[in-house]
Amino acid sequence: MNLSELITVLSRAGVSENDIDEIITDLVPEIIPFCGDISIKTGKISKLTQGYGLSLGDRACLATAIQLGLPVYTADKIWAELDLPNVKINLIR
């Protein structure tokens, strides 16, 4: 899901399909499937993130991090205000 968002941004910015493929190959070491467990977690955290303006993709990113015990890196400062269990949110700027 988040890979689709990245490709959308690149495409809308006028990046060619071949260049998008190269960027993805360079930046994305592993694609984690958006499985049933992550889908359920994404829906369940919607109540906790309500009022923060997070998209479905944002919640999917957070749910994946929670499910796999991974940290999250974001430029969205509002995420630092979230109180989500078992997820470390790192602001990159």
Q: What is the pTM of this model?
A: 0.82
Q: Which of 72, 74, 69 is nearest to 86 (CA)?
A: 69
pLDDT at 65: 94
Domain ranges of the chain: 1-31, 34-93
Q: Is the pLDDT of residue 2 over 90?
A: no
**pLDDT at site 86:** 87
Do 20 and 7 meet the contact criterion of CB atoms below 8 Å apart? yes
**pLDDT beyond 90 at 93:** no
Average pLDDT estimate for 56-80: 94
Q: Is the pLDDT at 1 greater than 90, yes or no?
A: no
Please calculate the CA angle 7-11-12 and round it to the nearest 5 degrees.
120
Structure confidence at residue 67 (pLDDT):
94
Average the pLDDT over 47-66 and give the result.
93
Percent of the chain with pLDDT over 90: 82
